């Protein structure tokens, strides 16, 4: 009895250790047989559920960002019903493959037999039961393609300044002042680039961009020369 209790305690301690960071969680998955590429991040390993009964069926590419409450299932348990109804027991399993440069939003479940291609965004709350082609934006239950990645990029780019202005206006109304540079998140793109980045050490540029920081800094040119110019443009 005590041995069982001790084993359970050890198991819980190991689970807590391996889910305490994305890096440790990835090492645990790889050691168990899951194939994982470079620059992969699990935003909350504690709420991530990976079916480790068949880890050789799971592969995750490079530059994959996985948000909270994420699940991968490589097998089903329909055979419970088959056993009782047809007196038969059937196996059920399939590969799950996630390509390169993929973002998976909150509360997504990927089922057996699914391949998600490169350059994809999977929207929040999706249940992915069919493969998603590369360069797609997909969402829903069941998950379906709703846009190409290029069209979605252009749509987001067109509305980004209006969204930034709305945030600044709401901040002013709520706080009675303009936001400081450190209180602007993605909005820094409108006034920060390599010409002036040293003037804004409190702006969370590096933490927001992660591994893409150097490439972004090299190619980005802000439409406004300073935070003041940006704020002055918003009535």
pLDDT tens sequence for the chain (235 residues): 667 777 777 767 777 788 889 999 999 999 999 999 999 999 999 999 999 999 999 999 999 999 999 999 999 888 888 889 998 888 889 999 999 999 999 999 999 999 999 999 999 999 999 999 999 999 999 999 999 999 999 999 999 999 999 999 999 999 999 999 989 888 989 999 999 999 988 888 878 887 788 999 999 999 999 999 999 999 8
Q: What is the pLDDT of residue 1?
A: 63
Alpha-carbon radius of gyration of the chain: 22
Of 142, 165, 198, the position where a domain reaches its end is 142
How many domains, in total, are found in the chain? 2
* Same domain as 121, residue 39: yes
Of 103, 122, 142, the position where a domain reaches its end is 142
Over 158-223, what HEC string results?
HHHHHHHHHHHHHHHHHHCCCCCHHHCCHHHHHCCCCCCHHHCCCCCHHHHHHHHHHHHHHHCCCC
Alpha-carbon span 200 to 129, nearest angstrom: 45
Structural domain span for residue 182: 151-232
**Residue 103 DSSP SS3:** strand
Alpha-carbon span 112 to 173, nearest angstrom: 49
Alpha-carbon span 92 to 60, nearest angstrom: 21
H/E stretch holding 83: helix 79-86
H/E stretch holding 169: helix 149-175
Q: What is the pLDDT of residue 227?
A: 94
Alpha-carbon span 76 to 197, nearest angstrom: 51
* Same domain as 82, residue 51: yes
Residue 109 CB neighbours (<10 A): 18
* Same domain as 27, residue 138: yes
* Same domain as 227, residue 181: yes
Q: What is the pLDDT of residue 210?
A: 79
Q: Which residues pair with 50 in a beta bridge?
A: 72
Residue that has been written with the tokens 């901040």 in this structure: 171
Of 142, 169, 204, the position where a domain reaches its end is 142
DSSP label at residue 184 = -
* Same domain as 24, residue 55: yes
* Same domain as 22, residue 138: yes
């Amino acid at each position: 009895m005590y041995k069982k209790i001790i084993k359970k305690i050890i198991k819980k301690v190991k689970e807590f250790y391996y889910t305490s960071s994305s890096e440790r969680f990835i090492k645990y998955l790889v050691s168990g047989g899951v194939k994982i590429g470079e620059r992969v991040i699990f935003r909350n390993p504690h709420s991530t559920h990976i079916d480790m009964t068949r880890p050789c069926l799971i592969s995750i590419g490079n530059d994959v960002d996985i948000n909270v409450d994420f699940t991968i299932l490589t097998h089903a348990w329909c055979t419970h019903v088959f056993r009782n109804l047809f007196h038969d027991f059937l196996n059920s399993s399939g590969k799950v493959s996630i390509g390169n440069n993929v973002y998976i939003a909150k509360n997504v479940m990927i089922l057996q037999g699914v391949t998600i291609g490169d350059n994809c965004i999977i929207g929040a709350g999706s249940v992915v039961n069919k493969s998603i082609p590369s360069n797609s934006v997909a969402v829903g239950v069941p998950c379906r393609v709703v846009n190409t990645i290029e069209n979605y990029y252009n749509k987001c780019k067109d509305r980004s300044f209006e969204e930034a202005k709305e945030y600044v206006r709401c901040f002013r109304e709520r706080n009675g002042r303009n936001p400081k540079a450190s209180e602007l998140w993605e909005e820094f793109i409108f006034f920060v680039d390599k010409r002036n980045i040293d003037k804004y050490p409190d702006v969370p540029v590096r933490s927001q961009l992660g591994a893409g920081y150097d490439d972004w800094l090299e190619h980005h040119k802000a439409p406004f020369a300073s935070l003041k110019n940006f704020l002055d443009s918003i009535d």
